Chains A and B, each alone.
Chain A
Protein backbone atom coordinates (compact mmCIF):
# COMPACT_ATOMS: atom_id res chain seq x y z
CA UNK A 1 0.00 0.00 0.00
CA UNK A 2 1.36 3.33 -1.11
CA UNK A 3 1.72 6.14 1.37
CA UNK A 4 -1.16 8.60 0.81
CA UNK A 5 -0.01 11.77 -0.97
CA UNK A 6 -1.96 14.08 1.28
CA UNK A 7 -2.56 13.54 4.95
CA UNK A 8 -4.57 15.81 7.20
CA UNK A 9 -4.03 14.97 10.83
CA UNK A 10 -6.28 16.59 13.37
CA UNK A 11 -6.23 19.89 11.51
CA UNK A 12 -7.89 22.64 13.48
CA UNK A 13 -8.17 26.36 12.80
CA UNK A 14 -9.30 28.78 15.44
CA UNK A 15 -9.66 32.50 14.89
CA UNK A 16 -9.80 34.08 18.33
CA UNK A 17 -12.16 31.66 20.10
CA UNK A 18 -14.18 30.67 17.03
CA UNK A 19 -13.45 27.23 15.66
CA UNK A 20 -13.52 27.45 11.85
CA UNK A 21 -12.16 24.01 11.08
CA UNK A 22 -12.47 21.33 13.69
CA UNK A 23 -10.12 18.37 13.90
CA UNK A 24 -10.11 17.28 10.24
CA UNK A 25 -8.43 13.95 9.63
CA UNK A 26 -8.35 12.20 6.27
CA UNK A 27 -5.93 10.85 3.67
CA UNK A 28 -5.98 11.20 -0.09
CA UNK A 29 -4.19 8.49 -2.08
CA UNK A 30 -2.15 9.30 -5.18
CA UNK A 31 -4.02 9.63 -8.47
CA UNK A 32 -7.44 10.29 -7.02
CA UNK A 33 -9.86 13.06 -7.82
CA UNK A 34 -11.04 14.03 -4.38
CA UNK A 35 -14.05 16.29 -4.03
CA UNK A 36 -14.38 18.49 -1.01
CA UNK A 37 -17.99 19.30 -0.59
CA UNK A 38 -19.86 21.48 1.82
CA UNK A 39 -22.21 24.40 2.11
CA UNK A 40 -20.83 27.92 1.98
CA UNK A 41 -19.08 28.85 5.18
CA UNK A 42 -18.42 25.23 6.15
CA UNK A 43 -14.64 25.73 6.19
CA UNK A 44 -13.66 24.50 2.71
CA UNK A 45 -11.65 27.54 1.71
CA UNK A 46 -10.03 27.80 5.13
CA UNK A 47 -8.91 24.17 4.86
CA UNK A 48 -7.48 24.80 1.39
CA UNK A 49 -5.69 27.93 2.59
CA UNK A 50 -4.08 25.88 5.33
CA UNK A 51 -3.04 23.21 2.81
CA UNK A 52 -1.21 25.77 0.66
CA UNK A 53 0.29 27.71 3.55
CA UNK A 54 -1.75 30.90 3.20
CA UNK A 55 -3.13 30.41 6.70
CA UNK A 56 -1.44 29.08 9.77
CA UNK A 57 -2.64 25.83 11.30
CA UNK A 58 -3.78 26.19 14.91
CA UNK A 59 -3.46 22.49 15.75
CA UNK A 60 -2.56 19.34 13.87
CA UNK A 61 -0.54 19.11 10.67
CA UNK A 62 -0.83 18.52 6.94
CA UNK A 63 1.74 16.57 4.96
CA UNK A 64 2.14 16.58 1.18
CA UNK A 65 4.23 13.67 -0.10
CA UNK A 66 5.56 13.22 3.42
CA UNK A 67 6.63 16.86 3.90
CA UNK A 68 4.96 18.85 6.63
CA UNK A 69 3.39 22.17 5.64
CA UNK A 70 4.32 23.54 9.02
CA UNK A 71 7.94 22.48 9.20
CA UNK A 72 9.09 21.97 5.60
CA UNK A 73 6.90 24.44 3.76
CA UNK A 74 9.18 24.94 0.76
CA UNK A 75 9.47 21.19 0.03
CA UNK A 76 5.75 20.61 0.55
CA UNK A 77 4.71 23.60 -1.56
CA UNK A 78 6.96 22.48 -4.44
CA UNK A 79 4.55 19.60 -5.06
CA UNK A 80 1.40 21.69 -5.11
CA UNK A 81 -0.24 23.61 -7.91
CA UNK A 82 -3.29 25.55 -6.87
CA UNK A 83 -5.97 28.07 -7.60
CA UNK A 84 -7.47 29.58 -4.49
CA UNK A 85 -10.85 31.08 -5.31
CA UNK A 86 -10.63 33.37 -8.33
CA UNK A 87 -7.33 33.22 -10.16
CA UNK A 88 -6.30 36.86 -9.90
CA UNK A 89 -3.44 37.76 -12.21
CA UNK A 90 -1.35 40.83 -12.86
CA UNK A 91 -3.75 42.64 -15.18
CA UNK A 92 -1.16 45.06 -16.53
CA UNK A 93 0.96 42.22 -17.92
CA UNK A 94 0.26 39.75 -20.71
CA UNK A 95 -0.86 36.24 -19.90
CA UNK A 96 2.53 35.00 -21.05
CA UNK A 97 4.42 37.34 -18.73
CA UNK A 98 2.23 36.17 -15.88
CA UNK A 99 3.26 32.59 -16.63
CA UNK A 100 6.94 33.61 -16.87
CA UNK A 101 6.51 35.20 -13.45
CA UNK A 102 5.33 31.96 -11.86
CA UNK A 103 7.75 29.82 -13.89
CA UNK A 104 10.68 31.76 -12.45
CA UNK A 105 9.59 30.81 -8.96
CA UNK A 106 9.89 27.09 -9.61
CA UNK A 107 12.89 25.12 -10.78
CA UNK A 108 13.28 23.59 -14.21
CA UNK A 109 10.45 25.11 -16.23
CA UNK A 110 11.49 25.59 -19.83
CA UNK A 111 9.92 27.88 -22.42
CA UNK A 112 8.70 24.75 -24.22
CA UNK A 113 6.81 23.75 -21.09
CA UNK A 114 5.13 27.16 -20.92
CA UNK A 115 4.09 26.90 -24.58
CA UNK A 116 2.85 23.37 -23.97
CA UNK A 117 0.67 24.45 -21.05
CA UNK A 118 -0.65 27.46 -22.98
CA UNK A 119 -1.77 25.16 -25.79
CA UNK A 120 -3.19 22.70 -23.33
CA UNK A 121 -5.59 25.22 -21.81
CA UNK A 122 -6.37 26.63 -25.27
CA UNK A 123 -5.12 30.18 -24.82
CA UNK A 124 -2.80 29.95 -27.82
CA UNK A 125 -3.58 33.08 -29.80
CA UNK A 126 -4.45 35.41 -26.92
CA UNK A 127 -1.57 34.66 -24.56
CA UNK A 128 0.40 37.80 -25.48
CA UNK A 129 -2.56 40.11 -24.81
CA UNK A 130 -2.81 41.90 -21.50
CA UNK A 131 -4.79 40.02 -18.88
CA UNK A 132 -7.14 42.98 -18.41
CA UNK A 133 -8.62 42.19 -21.84
CA UNK A 134 -9.43 38.59 -20.86
CA UNK A 135 -12.88 37.25 -20.09
CA UNK A 136 -13.50 35.46 -16.81
CA UNK A 137 -13.31 32.11 -18.56
CA UNK A 138 -9.93 32.97 -20.07
CA UNK A 139 -8.59 34.07 -16.71
CA UNK A 140 -9.77 30.78 -15.28
CA UNK A 141 -7.83 28.97 -18.01
CA UNK A 142 -4.75 31.04 -17.27
CA UNK A 143 -5.23 30.10 -13.63
CA UNK A 144 -5.23 26.42 -14.53
CA UNK A 145 -2.14 26.97 -16.68
CA UNK A 146 -0.12 28.52 -13.84
CA UNK A 147 -1.16 25.70 -11.53
CA UNK A 148 0.04 23.03 -13.98
CA UNK A 149 3.34 24.61 -15.02
CA UNK A 150 5.59 22.56 -12.77
CA UNK A 151 3.68 19.27 -13.18
CA UNK A 152 2.57 19.22 -9.55
CA UNK A 153 1.79 15.93 -7.85
CA UNK A 154 -1.14 17.59 -6.16
CA UNK A 155 -3.49 20.00 -7.90
CA UNK A 156 -5.75 21.99 -5.61
CA UNK A 157 -8.69 23.82 -7.14
CA UNK A 158 -11.07 25.90 -5.09
CA UNK A 159 -14.47 26.22 -6.79
CA UNK A 160 -12.89 25.67 -10.23
CA UNK A 161 -16.12 25.82 -12.20
CA UNK A 162 -17.06 29.32 -11.01
CA UNK A 163 -17.49 31.55 -14.00
CA UNK A 164 -16.94 28.84 -16.60
CA UNK A 165 -19.48 28.24 -19.32
CA UNK A 166 -20.89 24.72 -19.71
CA UNK A 167 -18.35 23.85 -22.39
CA UNK A 168 -15.52 25.11 -20.21
CA UNK A 169 -16.78 23.06 -17.27
CA UNK A 170 -16.91 19.96 -19.42
CA UNK A 171 -13.40 20.51 -20.76
CA UNK A 172 -12.05 21.08 -17.28
CA UNK A 173 -13.76 17.96 -16.00
CA UNK A 174 -12.40 15.79 -18.78
CA UNK A 175 -8.98 17.27 -18.34
CA UNK A 176 -8.87 16.68 -14.59
CA UNK A 177 -9.87 13.04 -15.02
CA UNK A 178 -7.22 12.65 -17.69
CA UNK A 179 -4.57 14.17 -15.43
CA UNK A 180 -5.47 11.81 -12.63
CA UNK A 181 -5.55 8.71 -14.83
CA UNK A 182 -2.63 9.34 -17.17
CA UNK A 183 -0.19 11.34 -15.09
CA UNK A 184 -1.20 10.09 -11.66
CA UNK A 185 -1.83 13.62 -10.46
CA UNK A 186 -3.92 13.83 -7.36
CA UNK A 187 -6.65 16.41 -7.72
CA UNK A 188 -8.34 18.10 -4.79
CA UNK A 189 -11.42 20.05 -5.83
CA UNK A 190 -13.74 21.97 -3.58
CA UNK A 191 -17.24 22.89 -4.56
CA UNK A 192 -20.74 23.37 -3.36
CA UNK A 193 -22.03 22.19 -6.73
CA UNK A 194 -23.08 18.64 -6.03
CA UNK A 195 -23.83 17.51 -9.54
CA UNK A 196 -20.37 18.64 -10.70
CA UNK A 197 -18.68 16.62 -7.98
CA UNK A 198 -20.64 13.54 -8.91
CA UNK A 199 -19.32 13.66 -12.46
CA UNK A 200 -15.75 14.54 -11.58
CA UNK A 201 -14.68 12.79 -8.40
CA UNK A 202 -13.59 9.36 -7.25
CA UNK A 203 -14.16 10.19 -3.61
CA UNK A 204 -15.93 12.99 -1.86
CA UNK A 205 -15.40 14.30 1.62
CA UNK A 206 -18.31 16.21 3.03
CA UNK A 207 -17.66 19.01 5.48
CA UNK A 208 -20.24 20.84 7.52
CA UNK A 209 -19.66 23.50 10.15
CA UNK A 210 -15.94 22.83 10.14
CA UNK A 211 -16.29 19.11 10.77
CA UNK A 212 -15.75 16.24 8.39
CA UNK A 213 -19.10 14.50 8.21
CA UNK A 214 -18.43 11.71 5.76
CA UNK A 215 -16.01 10.39 3.15
CA UNK A 216 -17.61 8.38 0.36
CA UNK A 217 -16.19 6.54 -2.63
CA UNK A 218 -18.13 7.25 -5.82
CA UNK A 219 -16.01 5.03 -8.02
CA UNK A 220 -13.86 2.01 -7.37
CA UNK A 221 -10.15 1.78 -7.97
CA UNK A 222 -10.58 1.24 -11.71
CA UNK A 223 -12.63 4.35 -12.18
CA UNK A 224 -15.86 2.37 -12.61
CA UNK A 225 -19.03 3.29 -10.78
CA UNK A 226 -19.56 1.73 -7.39
CA UNK A 227 -22.36 -0.80 -6.82
CA UNK A 228 -25.75 0.87 -6.95
CA UNK A 229 -29.17 0.09 -5.63
CA UNK A 230 -31.18 -1.43 -8.47
CA UNK A 231 -34.91 -2.13 -8.63
CA UNK A 232 -36.38 -5.12 -10.51
CA UNK A 233 -40.03 -4.66 -11.39
CA UNK A 234 -41.42 -8.19 -11.38
CA UNK A 235 -44.68 -10.13 -11.53
CA UNK A 236 -44.15 -11.83 -8.15
CA UNK A 237 -42.01 -9.78 -5.73
CA UNK A 238 -42.10 -12.36 -2.92
CA UNK A 239 -40.85 -15.15 -5.19
CA UNK A 240 -38.20 -12.85 -6.65
CA UNK A 241 -36.96 -11.96 -3.18
CA UNK A 242 -36.59 -15.67 -2.46
CA UNK A 243 -34.57 -16.24 -5.63
CA UNK A 244 -32.27 -13.33 -4.88
CA UNK A 245 -31.92 -14.23 -1.21
CA UNK A 246 -28.12 -13.99 -1.35
CA UNK A 247 -28.22 -10.36 -2.52
CA UNK A 248 -30.13 -9.15 0.54
CA UNK A 249 -33.23 -7.90 -1.31
CA UNK A 250 -35.95 -5.59 -0.03
CA UNK A 251 -39.46 -5.70 -1.40
CA UNK A 252 -41.06 -2.38 -2.28
CA UNK A 253 -44.55 -2.76 -3.78
CA UNK A 254 -44.17 -4.60 -7.07
CA UNK A 255 -40.41 -4.26 -7.14
CA UNK A 256 -37.41 -5.82 -5.44
CA UNK A 257 -34.42 -3.66 -4.63
CA UNK A 258 -30.92 -5.11 -4.47
CA UNK A 259 -27.42 -3.65 -4.46
CA UNK A 260 -24.96 -4.59 -7.16
CA UNK A 261 -22.61 -3.63 -9.94
CA UNK A 262 -23.92 -3.79 -13.54
CA UNK A 263 -22.49 -7.31 -14.04
CA UNK A 264 -24.12 -8.60 -10.87
CA UNK A 265 -27.45 -7.10 -11.92
CA UNK A 266 -27.32 -8.88 -15.29
CA UNK A 267 -26.57 -12.16 -13.58
CA UNK A 268 -29.46 -11.70 -11.13
CA UNK A 269 -31.78 -10.97 -14.04
CA UNK A 270 -30.81 -14.29 -15.63
CA UNK A 271 -31.55 -16.08 -12.36
CA UNK A 272 -34.99 -14.49 -12.05
CA UNK A 273 -35.94 -15.39 -15.61
CA UNK A 274 -34.81 -18.97 -15.22
CA UNK A 275 -36.82 -19.21 -11.99
CA UNK A 276 -39.93 -18.25 -13.96
CA UNK A 277 -40.36 -14.71 -12.61
CA UNK A 278 -41.42 -12.16 -15.22
CA UNK A 279 -39.14 -9.13 -15.19
CA UNK A 280 -40.87 -6.03 -16.55
CA UNK A 281 -38.13 -3.54 -15.88
CA UNK A 282 -34.73 -2.98 -14.30
CA UNK A 283 -33.79 0.47 -13.14
CA UNK A 284 -31.12 2.01 -10.95
CA UNK A 285 -32.43 3.61 -7.80
CA UNK A 286 -30.12 6.59 -7.85
CA UNK A 287 -29.67 8.20 -4.59
CA UNK A 288 -27.88 11.20 -5.96
CA UNK A 289 -25.04 12.80 -4.12
CA UNK A 290 -27.40 15.63 -3.38
CA UNK A 291 -29.63 13.34 -1.34
CA UNK A 292 -26.61 11.93 0.44
CA UNK A 293 -25.29 15.41 0.99
CA UNK A 294 -28.49 16.74 2.46
CA UNK A 295 -28.79 13.59 4.50
CA UNK A 296 -25.37 13.85 6.12
CA UNK A 297 -25.42 17.58 6.63
CA UNK A 298 -28.78 17.11 8.31
CA UNK A 299 -30.46 19.12 5.56
CA UNK A 300 -29.37 22.27 7.32
CA UNK A 301 -28.88 23.69 4.00
CA UNK A 302 -26.72 25.91 1.97
CA UNK A 303 -26.78 29.24 3.73
Chain B
Protein backbone atom coordinates (compact mmCIF):
# COMPACT_ATOMS: atom_id res chain seq x y z
CA UNK B 1 0.00 0.00 0.00
CA UNK B 2 2.85 2.32 0.90
CA UNK B 3 4.27 1.61 -2.54
CA UNK B 4 1.02 2.45 -4.26
CA UNK B 5 1.12 5.87 -2.62
CA UNK B 6 4.47 6.40 -4.33
CA UNK B 7 2.78 5.81 -7.68
CA UNK B 8 0.20 8.47 -6.84
CA UNK B 9 3.05 10.77 -5.70
CA UNK B 10 4.60 10.30 -9.15
CA UNK B 11 1.41 11.24 -10.92
CA UNK B 12 1.07 14.28 -8.68
CA UNK B 13 4.65 15.29 -9.41
CA UNK B 14 3.91 15.15 -13.14
CA UNK B 15 0.75 17.23 -12.74
CA UNK B 16 2.21 19.90 -10.45
CA UNK B 17 5.55 20.22 -12.27
CA UNK B 18 3.76 21.89 -15.14
CA UNK B 19 3.24 25.64 -14.95
CA UNK B 20 -0.24 25.38 -16.49
CA UNK B 21 -1.51 23.51 -13.42
CA UNK B 22 -0.56 26.45 -11.24
CA UNK B 23 -2.10 28.88 -13.72
CA UNK B 24 -5.38 26.96 -13.49
CA UNK B 25 -5.35 26.85 -9.69
CA UNK B 26 -4.38 30.53 -9.61
CA UNK B 27 -7.32 31.41 -11.87
CA UNK B 28 -9.68 29.50 -9.59
CA UNK B 29 -8.45 31.48 -6.59
CA UNK B 30 -8.55 34.73 -8.54
CA UNK B 31 -12.15 34.34 -9.73
CA UNK B 32 -13.27 33.14 -6.29
CA UNK B 33 -11.93 36.43 -4.97
CA UNK B 34 -13.04 38.64 -7.87
CA UNK B 35 -16.71 37.61 -7.96
CA UNK B 36 -17.51 38.75 -4.38
CA UNK B 37 -15.48 41.93 -4.96
CA UNK B 38 -17.49 42.73 -8.10
CA UNK B 39 -20.75 42.06 -6.33
CA UNK B 40 -19.57 44.27 -3.46
CA UNK B 41 -18.71 47.09 -5.85
CA UNK B 42 -22.17 46.97 -7.42
CA UNK B 43 -23.49 47.55 -3.91
CA UNK B 44 -25.72 44.49 -3.96
CA UNK B 45 -27.61 43.87 -0.75
CA UNK B 46 -26.91 40.17 -0.33
CA UNK B 47 -25.93 37.87 2.48
CA UNK B 48 -22.73 35.83 2.61
CA UNK B 49 -24.18 32.55 1.35
CA UNK B 50 -26.01 34.04 -1.60
CA UNK B 51 -22.77 35.69 -2.71
CA UNK B 52 -20.88 32.45 -2.28
CA UNK B 53 -23.51 30.47 -4.20
CA UNK B 54 -23.31 32.90 -7.11
CA UNK B 55 -19.53 32.80 -7.05
CA UNK B 56 -19.45 29.04 -6.78
CA UNK B 57 -21.79 28.49 -9.73
CA UNK B 58 -19.22 30.20 -11.95
CA UNK B 59 -15.97 29.03 -10.41
CA UNK B 60 -17.12 25.42 -10.20
CA UNK B 61 -17.77 25.32 -13.92
CA UNK B 62 -14.20 26.53 -14.33
CA UNK B 63 -13.00 23.83 -11.93
CA UNK B 64 -14.74 21.14 -13.98
CA UNK B 65 -13.13 22.44 -17.17
CA UNK B 66 -9.69 22.41 -15.52
CA UNK B 67 -10.22 18.90 -14.16
CA UNK B 68 -11.17 17.80 -17.68
CA UNK B 69 -7.95 19.32 -19.01
CA UNK B 70 -5.89 17.47 -16.39
CA UNK B 71 -7.77 14.20 -16.89
CA UNK B 72 -7.36 14.37 -20.65
CA UNK B 73 -3.57 14.36 -20.40
CA UNK B 74 -3.12 11.65 -17.80
CA UNK B 75 -3.02 8.75 -20.23
CA UNK B 76 -3.04 10.43 -23.66
CA UNK B 77 -0.10 12.64 -22.63
CA UNK B 78 2.09 9.65 -21.83
CA UNK B 79 1.38 8.24 -25.27
CA UNK B 80 2.02 11.49 -27.13
CA UNK B 81 5.22 12.16 -25.18
CA UNK B 82 6.38 8.57 -25.73
CA UNK B 83 7.00 8.22 -22.00
CA UNK B 84 4.41 5.44 -21.76
CA UNK B 85 7.13 2.92 -22.69
CA UNK B 86 9.42 3.74 -19.80
CA UNK B 87 6.42 3.96 -17.49
CA UNK B 88 4.98 0.55 -18.30
CA UNK B 89 8.20 -1.48 -18.15
CA UNK B 90 8.36 -1.02 -14.37
CA UNK B 91 7.42 -3.89 -12.05
CA UNK B 92 3.84 -2.67 -11.73
CA UNK B 93 0.74 -4.05 -13.34
CA UNK B 94 -0.90 -1.70 -15.78
CA UNK B 95 -4.09 -1.69 -13.76
CA UNK B 96 -2.30 -0.21 -10.75
CA UNK B 97 -0.60 2.46 -12.86
CA UNK B 98 -3.95 3.42 -14.37
CA UNK B 99 -5.58 3.51 -10.95
CA UNK B 100 -2.85 5.79 -9.57
CA UNK B 101 -3.58 8.21 -12.40
CA UNK B 102 -7.27 8.16 -11.59
CA UNK B 103 -6.58 8.88 -7.93
CA UNK B 104 -4.33 11.80 -8.90
CA UNK B 105 -7.16 13.14 -11.04
CA UNK B 106 -9.61 12.95 -8.12
CA UNK B 107 -7.09 14.70 -5.89
CA UNK B 108 -6.77 17.54 -8.37
CA UNK B 109 -10.56 17.98 -8.49
CA UNK B 110 -10.66 17.97 -4.71
CA UNK B 111 -7.84 20.52 -4.45
CA UNK B 112 -9.64 22.86 -6.87
CA UNK B 113 -12.81 22.46 -4.82
CA UNK B 114 -11.02 23.27 -1.58
CA UNK B 115 -9.33 26.35 -3.07
CA UNK B 116 -12.45 27.82 -4.65
CA UNK B 117 -14.57 27.11 -1.56
CA UNK B 118 -12.05 28.50 0.89
CA UNK B 119 -11.23 31.64 -1.10
CA UNK B 120 -14.89 32.13 -2.05
CA UNK B 121 -16.23 31.78 1.47
CA UNK B 122 -13.51 33.87 3.11
CA UNK B 123 -13.80 36.75 0.64
CA UNK B 124 -17.61 36.65 0.74
CA UNK B 125 -17.53 36.67 4.53
CA UNK B 126 -15.11 39.60 4.69
CA UNK B 127 -17.16 41.75 2.34
CA UNK B 128 -20.71 40.75 3.21
CA UNK B 129 -20.69 39.64 6.84
CA UNK B 130 -22.58 42.81 7.83
CA UNK B 131 -25.60 41.89 5.76
CA UNK B 132 -27.88 39.68 7.80
CA UNK B 133 -30.66 39.50 5.24
CA UNK B 134 -32.55 36.76 7.04
CA UNK B 135 -32.92 35.58 10.62
CA UNK B 136 -30.02 33.99 12.44
CA UNK B 137 -31.66 30.56 12.53
CA UNK B 138 -31.92 30.59 8.77
CA UNK B 139 -28.19 31.20 8.42
CA UNK B 140 -27.34 27.64 9.41
CA UNK B 141 -29.50 26.03 6.77
CA UNK B 142 -28.17 28.43 4.10
CA UNK B 143 -24.68 27.32 4.98
CA UNK B 144 -25.69 23.69 4.81
CA UNK B 145 -27.31 24.23 1.40
CA UNK B 146 -24.14 25.88 0.10
CA UNK B 147 -22.01 22.99 1.30
CA UNK B 148 -24.40 20.51 -0.30
CA UNK B 149 -24.20 22.47 -3.54
CA UNK B 150 -20.40 22.18 -3.50
CA UNK B 151 -20.72 18.46 -2.80
CA UNK B 152 -23.14 17.86 -5.70
CA UNK B 153 -20.86 19.87 -7.98
CA UNK B 154 -17.91 17.74 -6.88
CA UNK B 155 -19.87 14.63 -7.80
CA UNK B 156 -20.63 16.15 -11.19
CA UNK B 157 -16.93 16.91 -11.64
CA UNK B 158 -15.98 13.32 -10.86
CA UNK B 159 -18.48 11.94 -13.37
CA UNK B 160 -17.45 14.32 -16.18
CA UNK B 161 -13.73 13.82 -15.48
CA UNK B 162 -14.24 10.04 -15.46
CA UNK B 163 -15.70 10.33 -18.95
CA UNK B 164 -12.65 12.38 -19.99
CA UNK B 165 -10.33 9.82 -18.40
CA UNK B 166 -11.96 7.03 -20.39
CA UNK B 167 -11.82 8.98 -23.66
CA UNK B 168 -8.18 9.85 -23.00
CA UNK B 169 -7.37 6.18 -22.45
CA UNK B 170 -9.37 4.84 -25.37
CA UNK B 171 -8.42 7.41 -28.03
CA UNK B 172 -4.99 8.41 -26.68
CA UNK B 173 -5.74 11.95 -27.83
CA UNK B 174 -6.06 14.63 -25.19
CA UNK B 175 -7.66 17.19 -27.51
CA UNK B 176 -10.38 14.75 -28.52
CA UNK B 177 -10.98 13.88 -24.87
CA UNK B 178 -11.25 17.55 -23.88
CA UNK B 179 -13.48 18.40 -26.84
CA UNK B 180 -15.95 15.58 -26.32
CA UNK B 181 -16.10 16.05 -22.55
CA UNK B 182 -16.79 19.76 -22.77
CA UNK B 183 -19.38 19.12 -25.46
CA UNK B 184 -21.12 16.76 -23.06
CA UNK B 185 -20.80 19.26 -20.20
CA UNK B 186 -22.38 22.11 -22.13
CA UNK B 187 -25.08 20.19 -24.00
CA UNK B 188 -26.29 17.90 -21.26
CA UNK B 189 -29.30 20.13 -20.52
CA UNK B 190 -30.22 19.92 -24.19
CA UNK B 191 -30.17 16.13 -23.88
CA UNK B 192 -32.47 16.51 -20.92
CA UNK B 193 -35.01 18.14 -23.20
CA UNK B 194 -34.51 15.71 -26.09
CA UNK B 195 -34.82 12.61 -23.98
CA UNK B 196 -37.53 13.81 -21.71
CA UNK B 197 -38.18 11.21 -19.03
CA UNK B 198 -41.77 12.43 -18.80
CA UNK B 199 -42.30 11.11 -22.35
CA UNK B 200 -39.98 8.14 -22.61
CA UNK B 201 -39.68 5.68 -19.75
CA UNK B 202 -36.19 4.57 -20.77
CA UNK B 203 -34.89 8.15 -20.73
CA UNK B 204 -34.51 8.07 -16.97
CA UNK B 205 -31.55 5.75 -17.50
CA UNK B 206 -29.68 8.42 -19.50
CA UNK B 207 -26.59 9.39 -17.51
CA UNK B 208 -26.65 13.07 -18.43
CA UNK B 209 -29.96 13.70 -16.68
CA UNK B 210 -28.45 12.74 -13.36
CA UNK B 211 -25.03 14.42 -13.26
CA UNK B 212 -26.41 17.45 -11.44
CA UNK B 213 -27.72 16.22 -8.10
CA UNK B 214 -28.35 19.74 -6.77
CA UNK B 215 -32.06 19.44 -7.71
CA UNK B 216 -32.38 17.12 -4.72
CA UNK B 217 -31.28 19.83 -2.27
CA UNK B 218 -34.73 21.40 -2.38
CA UNK B 219 -36.85 18.60 -3.79
CA UNK B 220 -37.04 14.89 -2.98
CA UNK B 221 -38.03 14.10 -6.59
CA UNK B 222 -35.61 14.33 -9.49
CA UNK B 223 -36.01 14.24 -13.28
CA UNK B 224 -38.89 12.01 -14.37
CA UNK B 225 -39.92 11.38 -10.79
CA UNK B 226 -36.72 9.53 -9.88
CA UNK B 227 -35.31 9.43 -6.38
CA UNK B 228 -31.89 10.50 -5.09
CA UNK B 229 -30.91 6.88 -4.54
CA UNK B 230 -31.85 6.06 -8.14
CA UNK B 231 -29.74 8.96 -9.47
CA UNK B 232 -26.76 7.94 -7.35
CA UNK B 233 -27.08 4.36 -8.57
CA UNK B 234 -27.11 5.56 -12.20
CA UNK B 235 -24.03 7.76 -11.63
CA UNK B 236 -22.14 4.98 -9.84
CA UNK B 237 -23.11 2.40 -12.44
CA UNK B 238 -21.94 4.49 -15.39
CA UNK B 239 -18.74 5.59 -13.65
CA UNK B 240 -17.81 2.00 -12.87
CA UNK B 241 -18.59 1.03 -16.45
CA UNK B 242 -16.35 3.82 -17.78
CA UNK B 243 -13.54 2.79 -15.47
CA UNK B 244 -13.87 -0.83 -16.55
CA UNK B 245 -13.67 0.20 -20.20
CA UNK B 246 -10.56 2.30 -19.45
CA UNK B 247 -8.98 -0.56 -17.54
CA UNK B 248 -9.75 -3.11 -20.22
CA UNK B 249 -8.37 -0.96 -23.05
CA UNK B 250 -5.29 0.12 -21.08
CA UNK B 251 -4.27 -3.34 -19.92
CA UNK B 252 -4.84 -5.11 -23.22
CA UNK B 253 -3.32 -2.64 -25.60
CA UNK B 254 0.01 -3.26 -27.35
CA UNK B 255 2.22 -0.22 -26.94
CA UNK B 256 3.64 0.65 -30.33
CA UNK B 257 4.43 4.36 -30.05
**Could you tell me which A residues sit within 8 Å of B by CB distance?**
15, 49, 52-56, 73-75, 77-78, 80, 82-93, 97, 100-102, 104-107, 143, 146
Asked if residues A80 and B82 are in contact (CB atoms below 8 Å), the reply is: no
Known: A56-B254, A105-B92. 6 other contacts (CB 8 A): A49-B255, A55-B255, A55-B256, A73-B91, A83-B86, A104-B9
B61-113 contacts to A, CB under 8 A, are 81-83, 85-86, 88-93
A84: chain B residues at CB < 8 Å are 85-86, 89
Select the stretch in B13-21, B39-47, B138-146 that faces chain A: B13-21
B81: chain A residues at CB < 8 Å are 88, 90-91
Asked if residues A88 and B85 are in contact (CB atoms below 8 Å), the reply is: yes
Interface mask (B239-257 → A, CB under 8 Å = 1, otherwise 0): 0000000000000101110
Asked if residues A54 and B90 are in contact (CB atoms below 8 Å), the reply is: no
Q: Is B10 located at the chain interface by the 8 A CB criterion?
A: yes
- Shortest B23–chain A CB gap in Å is 13
- Quick one: which of B14, B88, B92, B93 contacts A101, CB cutoff 8 A? B14
Asked if residues A89 and B83 are in contact (CB atoms below 8 Å), the reply is: yes
Asked if residues B17 and A104 are in contact (CB atoms below 8 Å), the reply is: no
Assuming the contacts A55-B255, A105-B7, asked whether A74 and B13 have C-beta atoms less than 8 A apart, the reply is: no
Asked if residues A53 and B17 are in contact (CB atoms below 8 Å), the reply is: no
Task: Give A79's nearest chain B residue, CB to CB.
Answer: B91
- Shortest A199–chain B CB gap in Å is 27
Interface residues on B, range: 20 to 34
- Shortest B250–chain A CB gap in Å is 13
Interface mask (B7-35 → A, CB under 8 Å = 1, otherwise 0): 10110011001100000000000000000
Asked if residues A102 and B86 are in contact (CB atoms below 8 Å), the reply is: yes
Task: Give A74's nearest chain B residue, CB to CB.
Answer: B91
Asked if residues A97 and B13 are in contact (CB atoms below 8 Å), the reply is: yes
Asked if residues B17 and A97 are in contact (CB atoms below 8 Å), the reply is: yes
Task: Give B18's nearest chain A residue, CB to CB.
Answer: A92
CA separation between A53 and B3, bound complex, in Å?
21
CA separation between A218 and B154, bound complex, in Å?
64
Asked if residues A104 and B85 are in contact (CB atoms below 8 Å), the reply is: no
B86: chain A residues at CB < 8 Å are 83-84, 87-89, 102, 143, 146
Asked if residues A105 and B10 are in contact (CB atoms below 8 Å), the reply is: yes
16 A-B residue contacts at CB 8 Å?
A: A55-B254, A73-B91, A75-B91, A77-B89, A77-B91, A82-B89, A87-B86, A93-B14, A93-B17, A97-B17, A101-B13, A104-B10, A105-B6, A105-B10, A105-B90, A106-B90
B88: chain A residues at CB < 8 Å are 53-54
CA separation between A56 and B255, bound complex, in Å?
9
